[in-house]
Chain A
Amino acid sequence: MNDWFETVSTAVLQYEKTPLLIFAALFAVIVILTVAFAVHEIRNDIS
């Protein structure tokens, strides 16, 4: 597992920014949705 990750992390160091930004935006959308769902669930539970 470690060897595999070393190979991949070496490749990541030569990254391009555009795909990283796309990944980051997608991740942000999913996290916002998840937090919103959780807030909705917890508020519903309290009421």
Chain B
Amino acid sequence: MKKRSFNTRNLGSGFLYFYIHFVTEVACFYALARYIESPPVMWMITVAYDLLAFTPQSVIGYISDRFRKISFGLIGLVMLAAALPLQQYMASPWLSLVILCLGNACTHVDGAEITLRASNGSLSHSAIFVAGGSFGVITGKLLAGAGIPYWAPLVLTLSAVPFAMAAKLYLNKAPASAEVPCRAFRYNDPRRNKYLVILLSVIVVISRGYMAYGIPISWRKSTLQTVMLFCFMGLGKALGGVCADLFGIKKTAIISLAAALPFLLFGDNNMYLSLIGVMFFSMTMSVTLAVIVSVLPKAPGLAFGFTTIGLFLGATPVFFIKVTGFAANCVMLTVMTALCVACMAISIRKDEPHERLV
């Protein structure tokens, strides 16, 4: 029987994109926090940001799958860098917002493409890439809140350009760079219809996106506590990929989600319990991506786009329908956790030791 192992081959792509994802979110949330200072367009800006940054990733991802020579990572960073001074000097927020969102979408797509193609079927690479975002969100908000001038996130964004160029080199080293770049991803249950697997995975992402805003966190009062919350989110996302590689994707997905529930429910006033819950809760992030990639092994960019459409669908209802009250939140979290566990139990294949394609 083969033993599972932590695949460190090409892991550098994950760390390079951890930084690029970090600076992307710093730039976006710095700009977003400053847009939101203008109340008349506040809600439109927020909904438009979610729409324009999240949903086009599927289309950009598909173009990126087809035309690998286009460096979407570099294009994205240049767009982000251009959006920051535009926001500062233009009266209307819309042009800078559109450029910012498309820049965000481009760097995300490239990160997913590179880490998935270079990982040889491991989840750790994309999980480490995804984790960088949580640290970036809180850093961007803190920079904007502290009144730091726009050139600081601009310099930070440009500092990621060499990282994007270096990450590109990992594509050449990727073993499965041929016709089916992600053939080592075989995590979907082959007995299930492929469309059903995509649908169930997107339902999990939607539920998780909505649940994230219903988590009771009365304990969070200071900036330091907010920073810790985002750090544990990031840690959970990275740990989810590593645990999936070590112990199996199905075990990691179901156990982490089920284990998160009691910690989240009883952690309303206890920061330590809550942070453990948030960490467990974030661990399934890379799992849904890996399952969709298993169904679309030739199109990792498009597969990533499905998860971001799910995130948009999960986050948007929060603006319109919000579950309030501790008891209602508990019921909502429990029902949605059960739904996610059921979806994952159906769509993910049974864990078994598998040979990696080297």
Interface residues of A (CB under 8 A from B): 1-2, 4-9, 11-13, 15, 19-20, 23, 26-27, 30-31, 33-34, 37-38, 41-42, 44-45
- A10 and B87 CA atoms in complex are apart in Å by 25
B67 interface contact, C-beta 8 A:
no
Question: What are 5 A-B residue pairs whose CB atoms fall within 8 Å in the complex?
Answer: A2-B220, A9-B319, A9-B320, A9-B322, A27-B55
Evaluate contact between B59 and A11: CB separation under 8 angstroms: no
B298 interface contact, C-beta 8 A:
yes
Stretch in contact with the other chain, from B263-271, B301-309, B350-358: B301-309
Given A9-B319, A34-B305, A41–B298 Cβ distance below 8 Å? yes
B206 interface contact, C-beta 8 A:
no
Stretch in contact with the other chain, from B39-47, B235-243, B244-252: B39-47
Evaluate contact between B309 and A31: CB separation under 8 angstroms: yes
Evaluate contact between B44 and A42: CB separation under 8 angstroms: no
B311 interface contact, C-beta 8 A:
no
Evaluate contact between A37 and B39: CB separation under 8 angstroms: no
- A26 and B322 CA atoms in complex are apart in Å by 24
Evaluate contact between B43 and A41: CB separation under 8 angstroms: no
**Residues of A contacting B55 with CB < 8 Å?**
26-27, 30-31
B296 interface contact, C-beta 8 A:
yes
Evaluate contact between A34 and B195: CB separation under 8 angstroms: no
What is the distance, in angstroms, from A17's C-beta to the closest C-beta of chain B?
12
Q: B interface, how many residues as a size bin?
A: 35 or more
Taking a contact as CB atoms closer than 8 A, the residue among B217, B306, B309 that contacts A2 in the complex is B217
- A18 and B214 CA atoms in complex are apart in Å by 29
Evaluate contact between B47 and A45: CB separation under 8 angstroms: no
B30 interface contact, C-beta 8 A:
no
Evaluate contact between A8 and B43: CB separation under 8 angstroms: yes
B126 interface contact, C-beta 8 A:
no
Evaluate contact between B62 and A9: CB separation under 8 angstroms: no
Given A31-B309, A34-B306, A19–B59 Cβ distance below 8 Å? no
Which residues, 283 to 319 on B, are CB-close (under 8 Å) to A?
A: 295-299, 302, 305-306, 309, 312, 318-319
B198 interface contact, C-beta 8 A:
yes
- A11 and B319 CA atoms in complex are apart in Å by 9
**Residues of A contacting B305 with CB < 8 Å?**
34
B151 interface contact, C-beta 8 A:
no
Which of chain B's residues has its CB closest to A23's CB?
Answer: B51
B48 interface contact, C-beta 8 A:
yes
- A31 and B56 CA atoms in complex are apart in Å by 9
Given A5-B213, A38-B302, A30–B43 Cβ distance below 8 Å? no
Evaluate contact between A30 and B309: CB separation under 8 angstroms: yes
Evaluate contact between A30 and B298: CB separation under 8 angstroms: no
B13 interface contact, C-beta 8 A:
no
Which residues, 26 to 64 on B, are CB-close (under 8 Å) to A?
A: 36, 39, 42-44, 46-48, 51, 55-56, 58-59, 62
Which of chain B's residues has its CB closest to A4's CB?
Answer: B36
Taking a contact as CB atoms closer than 8 A, the residue among B59, B302, B322 that contacts A41 in the complex is B302
Given A9-B322, A42-B195, A1–B213 Cβ distance below 8 Å? yes
B9 interface contact, C-beta 8 A:
no
Given A8-B46, A42-B194, A30–B295 Cβ distance below 8 Å? no
- A34 and B46 CA atoms in complex are apart in Å by 23
Taking a contact as CB atoms closer than 8 A, the residue among B48, B58, B295, B322 that contacts A23 in the complex is B48
- A31 and B220 CA atoms in complex are apart in Å by 36
